[in-house]
Amino acid sequence: MATAPINTNVRNFVRIDSCLCKGCKVCVETCPKHCLVIGSKMNQLGYQYARFEKETCTACGLCFYSCPEPGAITVYRNEPADREDAE
Amino acid sequence: MKQLMKGNEAVVHGALVGGATHFFGYPITPASEIAHAAADFFPRTGRHFLQAESEVAAINMIYGAAGAGARTMTASSGPGVSLMAEGLSYIAGAELPCVIVDVQRAGPGLGNIWPEQSDYNMVVKGGGHGNYHNAVYVPNSAQEMCDMTAHAFDIADRYRVTVFILSDAYIGQMMEPVEIPDSVHHAPAKPWALGATSETRDNLITSIHMSTADQAAHNWKLKAKYDQMEAEITDWEEVFTDDADTLFVAFGITARICLTAVQRLRARGVRAGLLRPKTVFPFPRTRIAELVDQGPVREIAVVELNDGMMADDVQLAAPSVRVHRLNWLGGQVPTAEQVLEMAAQKAGQR
Amino acid sequence: MIKHKKPDAFYDTFERKGAGQQTTHYCPGCGHGTVHKMIAEAIDEFGVRDRTIFCSPVGCSVFAYYYFDTGNIQCAHGRAPAVATGMRRVHDDAVIISYQGDGDLAGIGTAEIIHAANRGENITVFFVNNAIYGMTGGQMAPTTLIGQQTLTTPTGRSAATDGNPIGMCELMSALSAPVYVERVSLGDGNRVLKARRAVRKALKNQIDGVGFSFVEILSPCPINWKLTPMDARKWLIENLEPAFPVKSFRDTGTPGAVATARAARDPSGPIPDDEMVRLLGSQSEIETIDRVTGLPEQRVKVAGFGGQGVLSAGILLANCAISEGLHATWLPSYGPEMRGGTANASVIVSEESIGSPLVDEPTTLIALNGPSIDAFEGSVVPGGLIVANSSLIDREPARSDVRYCMIPASKIAQDIGFQGAANVVLLAAYAAIEGFPAIDILRRVIPHALKKKNLVDLNLQMVDAAVEFVAEHPVAAPSAAPLPVR
């Protein structure tokens, strides 16, 4: 499994396309580092979608593989620290 | 030089000159010799033969092979064709080309292995669920078993339909001299097929149309195709129809018997004629109507080894004329004299 | 850098209902999407997208073709392994995936999956087992657990009524041909990663030509199980896994016997057209003659017991007719009776086209044994001919209105040295009596008709002996009715 980034200027994170999430929570429960949560907002499909919240992501990919939707989750590793905000 | 061979063997010769590359079959009397000959000839000519676990599997192997672009076929008899009904419907829906030979036996159920023409409705009207038709050729000799099978592959590819060779136990089992055509047909390019290449990656073989509008459009497209087939490939043979007031209509084995019957009537001075459909879908209904409306035909005798299935189509084509139904069932095949006796008897019943 | 993203083997958008859609039609928490993703990722990884053909089944995954950017074919319920087989015989290099649910594979399609597996088809089968029929709203599947409530087992599946859940991996591993059989689970993250490895291996096996691979995936159906997605995963681990052990059943890693045998086959493709025409065309040229005299229609019944050469005598006669430029039909007695007991062949020879090929009123009966003359004597037309094998028939015909020839065909054949040719003796006797076929033609056709060429001389001696016998023994004429005009 991937280890936490050493370079503090880069980090791992998970991008969840809120429009594609069906709110099943499988990623939330599967993440060993508890990085994901279900938010309170609903998307256009009517689901409360998952959000990436914590910085402890190891980019292990368990959320990606567990997620039933093809394109809802993208996992980034060692991205520049400002990357997520730019999305 | 003509060769003596069974109609069933002639099918395989015809298939090979017709460009068939894949045969999937399941044995059944009286069609098994087709599988036997295919198992012999296909592999040693670099083609493929596979004995399926059932007719259900065979027709689905055909669905796959046809979807992959091959000229493919199977052969069976009524009980096997019944099992293929599902696959035939899918093949029609997905517009795949293939050739099926039905060597008819007596039914319903297991029936017996002697000739009937009682798969007419199943094969001519479709057989499976939904709005569709098969092109149906009806050979009356071993030579036509060969020629029509060869031709069937071109028709199947031209219209992307199932083409049936609707034969019977006698036509399949009997040996006759056959001249094998000396040129081999080949499949046209099939850009719609699954070629396992980048060019064909976008292709989809399916019969699903989820929206009612799409399904309706698809079904009307199929209907237009069947209408086009009627205009282009309807085929029949006429004997003595110029001045016939009594018209015999028969196909396959019974057409041969009727030919003898008509010749005897002519010898007795009776103005009898014969119309032998070579396709029963599309059905030569326009020609039958013409003969009745514009010719001297006063009555029609439809001679069949079923309880009058084609007679229904003849009556529809010619509603104004009396259509006699001369039927034999159970595998009993009449002689020409028996046909004449029954014709006289029916004519006297008016 | 992106570590995990939507695989390229998925379409960008899924145009199932309107343009631009990017989500699947699967319910929240369904396992299908997860399995799809593993497959798509493996297709990407192995670089086989162009040559992949994905077989969509009937069931919830019926619309898989909206997702996979590969060749796609939608199959009838349960028939995908047969469809895959058909495609496999056309394209050696295609990567063919059969994706099936439990109703599809373990119910309606059991015959197709078992036989495709048994043939060792080089395909990959992904079997998604969620123990229920999803698309139709939650009925019993063949894999539904005992006690599990479904729409068609409202009080729970009962072994007494429905039997026990069926273990497909167990069935697969009872066959010798499959090279890889494994059951995996989507119960939690680690199980999912194991499942991913199994999916990769199953696809790699096919690409490497190793053989038939079968991966069963225990998958949650939260909606029809009436559980939340997470509770469904818990239920899966606690209930499905004990009933369906998660393990590798077989993993040979090397090509199976079937794949090896297949690879050893001659790969030569279709033969050239001219070669085909030569092969199918006449293999033998027989010098033909044209008859000058009108020949009455010959309706010949040849009858005897199986093994006497009844059918082949008929074929010989029909071949002679062709050589004389005549129409001919030959019709065997066929079906169960041809395997033992009596056999008969109907041969009609005519200058005109022939109607029914069945001879029910023969002009000539060639009877090889006693039962044959008993069975068919009565059907011979008045004035007709009976040629009977007096070696085996101890009576003359009872009919007084037919001509007949009693010839000890079996004894003549035995004396010449091949008792099996009594049929030729009888046929030659018929020819000598009726003047058809011409003896000369018969002698010319025999070498072409015989499969065993070393018997040609013996058979020609049979002809000579028969001709000699007929010359010395005039045919018995009818005593009662006058000869009909023939």
User: What CATH number has the domain spanning A10-81?
Assistant: 3.30.70.20
- Mean pLDDT, to the nearest integer, of C16-30? 89
- Tell whether C229 is within 8 A of chain A (Cβ): yes
Cβ atoms of B113 and B88 closer than 8 Å: no
Nearest CA in chain B to C287: B1
- Tell whether C399 is within 8 A of chain A (Cβ): no
What is the DSSP track for B249-277? E--HHHHHHHHHHHHHHHHTT--EEEEEE
Q: Which chains share 3+ C-beta pairs under 8 angstroms with A?
A: C
Mention every residue, 6+ apart, whose C-beta is less than 8 A from residue B211.
none
User: How many residues does this entry show for chain B?
Assistant: 350
A66, A83, A84: which to substitute to probe chain C, counting the most C Cβ within 10 Å?
A: A66
In whole angstroms, what is the distance from residue C224 CA to residue C240 CA? 15
CA atoms in the 13 A half-sphere facing the CB of A79: 23
Of C448, C451, C94, whose CA–CA distance to B194 is shortest? C94
The per-residue pLDDT for B349 is 67
- Tell whether C34 is within 8 A of chain A (Cβ): yes
- Mean pLDDT, to the nearest integer, of C451-459? 90
The per-residue pLDDT for A8 is 66
Residue type present at position B60 = N
The per-residue pLDDT for C453 is 85
Backbone angles phi, psi at B199, to 5 degrees: -65, -30
A69, A74, A78: which to substitute to probe chain C, counting the most C Cβ within 10 Å?
A: A69
CA distance A56 to chain C (A): 16
The per-residue pLDDT for B124 is 97
Structure token pair of residue B89: 């419907």
Is the pLDDT reported for residue A36 higher than 50?
yes
Nearest CA in chain C to B85: C76
Cβ within 8 Å, pair A24-C29: yes
In whole angstroms, what is the distance from residue A80 CA to residue C364 CA? 101
State the 10-residue block means of pLDDT for chain B, 350 residues long: 93 98 97 97 96 98 98 98 98 98 97 96 94 97 98 98 97 95 95 97 96 97 98 98 96 95 95 98 98 94 98 97 97 94 85
Mention every residue, 6+ apart, whose C-beta is less than 8 A from residue B294.
none
> Which residues are B23's β-sheet partners?
B49, B73
C37 neighbourhood in chain A, CB within 8 Å: 64-65, 67-68, 70
The SS3 call for residue A39 is strand
C332 neighbourhood in chain B, CB within 8 Å: 173
Is the pLDDT reported for residue A53 higher than 50?
yes
- Mean pLDDT, to the nearest integer, of C202-219? 97
- Mean pLDDT, to the nearest integer, of C5-28? 92
CA distance C35 to chain A (A): 8
Q: Which chains share 3+ C-beta pairs under 8 angstroms with B?
A: C
A11, A21, A24, A25: which to substitute to probe chain C, counting the most C Cβ within 10 Å?
A: A24
Cβ within 8 Å, pair C24-A69: yes
Q: Which of C67, C192, C230 comes nearest A65 by C-beta?
A: C192
What is the DSSP track for B3-29? EEEEHHHHHHHHHHHTT--EEEE---T
The per-residue pLDDT for B227 is 98
Residue type present at position B249 = V
Is the pLDDT reported for residue C483 higher than 50?
no
The per-residue pLDDT for B240 is 96
Cβ atoms of B37 and C57 closer than 8 Å: no
Q: Regarding beta strands C342-350 and C364-367, do their DSSP bridges make them parallel or antiparallel, or are they unpaired?
A: unpaired
Q: Regarding beta strands C95-101 and C124-129, do their DSSP bridges make them parallel or antiparallel, or are they unpaired?
A: parallel
The per-residue pLDDT for C17 is 76
State the Cα torsion C71-C77-C80-C85 to the nearest 10°: -120
Lowest mean pLDDT among C65-74, C191-200, C325-334: C325-334
Backbone angles phi, psi at C217, to 5 degrees: -115, 115
- Mean pLDDT, to the nearest integer, of C125-150? 97
Per-residue pLDDT band at C484 (split at 50, 70, 90): very low
Percent helix, percent strand, percent coil in chain A, to nearest 5: 15, 30, 55
User: What CATH number has the domain spanning C32-263?
Assistant: 3.40.50.970
Residues of A with CB under 8 A from a CB of C: 2, 12, 17, 19-20, 22-26, 29-30, 32, 45, 47, 59, 61-62, 64-79
The per-residue pLDDT for A27 is 97
Q: What is the CATH superfamily name and number for domain C298-472? A: Pyruvate-ferredoxin oxidoreductase, PFOR, domain III (3.40.920.10)
CA distance C243 to chain B (A): 30
What percent of chain C has pLDDT above 70?
94
Q: What ipTM was predicted for this assembly?
A: 0.96
Lowest mean pLDDT among B158-162, C245-249, C437-441: C437-441
Q: H or E segment at A29?
A: helix A26-30
Structure token pair of residue B333: 């095949």
Backbone angles phi, psi at A44, to 5 degrees: -65, -25
Per-residue pLDDT band at A87 (split at 50, 70, 90): very low
The per-residue pLDDT for C387 is 97
- Tell whether C89 is within 8 A of chain A (Cβ): no
Is residue B293 exposed (0-12), middle (13-18) or buried (19+ Cβ within 10 Å)?
exposed
State the Cα torsion B143-B149-B150-B152 to the nearest 10°: 140
Cβ atoms of B17 and C275 closer than 8 Å: no
Is the pLDDT reported for residue A5 higher than 70?
no
A61 neighbourhood in chain C, CB within 8 Å: 3-4
How many Cβ pairs closer than 8 A exist between chain B and C?
223
Could you identify the residue written with the tokens 């023969």?
C362
Mention every residue, 6+ apart, whose C-beta is less than 8 A from residue B338.
none
C42 neighbourhood in chain A, CB within 8 Å: none
Structure token pair of residue C65: 């073709």
CA distance C431 to chain B (A): 19
- Range list of H helices, C257-363: 257-263, 273-280, 310-323
The per-residue pLDDT for C256 is 82
Is residue B346 exposed (0-12), middle (13-18) or buried (19+ Cβ within 10 Å)?
middle
C345 neighbourhood in chain B, CB within 8 Å: none
Of A35, A31, A30, A32, whose CA–CA distance to A13 is shortest? A35
Is the pLDDT reported for residue C470 higher than 50?
yes
The per-residue pLDDT for C292 is 61
- Tell whether C4 is within 8 A of chain A (Cβ): yes
The per-residue pLDDT for C374 is 93
In whole angstroms, what is the distance from residue C131 CA to residue C56 CA? 19
Q: Regarding beta strands C342-350 and C327-332, do their DSSP bridges make them parallel or antiparallel, or are they unpaired?
A: antiparallel
Cβ within 8 Å, pair B45-C111: no
Per-residue pLDDT band at C339 (split at 50, 70, 90): low
Domain ranges of chain C: 32-263, 298-472
In whole angstroms, what is the distance from residue B172 CA to residue B195 CA? 35
In whole angstroms, what is the distance from residue B46 CA to residue B326 CA? 46
C36 neighbourhood in chain A, CB within 8 Å: 70
The per-residue pLDDT for C274 is 94
With touching defined as 3 or more inter-chain CB pairs under 8 Å, the answer for chains A and B is no
The per-residue pLDDT for A7 is 59
Q: What would the pLDDT profile of C303-322 be if each residue is shown by its tens digit?
A: 999 889 999 999 999 999 99
Q: What would the pLDDT profile of C251-305 be if each residue is shown by its tens digit?
A: 998 888 888 888 887 667 899 999 999 999 865 566 677 666 789 999 999 999 9
Nearest CA in chain C to A22: C28
Q: Which chains share 3+ C-beta pairs under 8 angstroms with C?
A: A, B
Structure token pair of residue C472: 């010395």
What is the DSSP track for C161-221? HH-PPP-HHHHHTTSSS-SEEEEEE-SSHHHHHHHHHHHHHHHHHHHTT---EEEEEE---
C91 neighbourhood in chain B, CB within 8 Å: 68, 194-196
| Residue ranges of domains in chain B, CATH in brackets | 3-233 (3.40.50.970), 236-347 (3.40.50.920)
B175, B185, B208, B209: which to substitute to probe chain C, counting the most C Cβ within 10 Å?
A: B175
The per-residue pLDDT for C482 is 47
The per-residue pLDDT for C261 is 85
Is the pLDDT reported for residue A85 higher than 70?
no
Give, in order, the Cα–Cα distances in Å from C163 to each of B262, C152, C171, C236, C346.
63, 14, 16, 21, 54
The per-residue pLDDT for C258 is 84
Is the pLDDT reported for residue A28 higher than 90?
yes
Cβ within 8 Å, pair C33-A71: no
Is the pLDDT reported for residue C337 higher than 60?
no
Cβ within 8 Å, pair B3-C282: yes
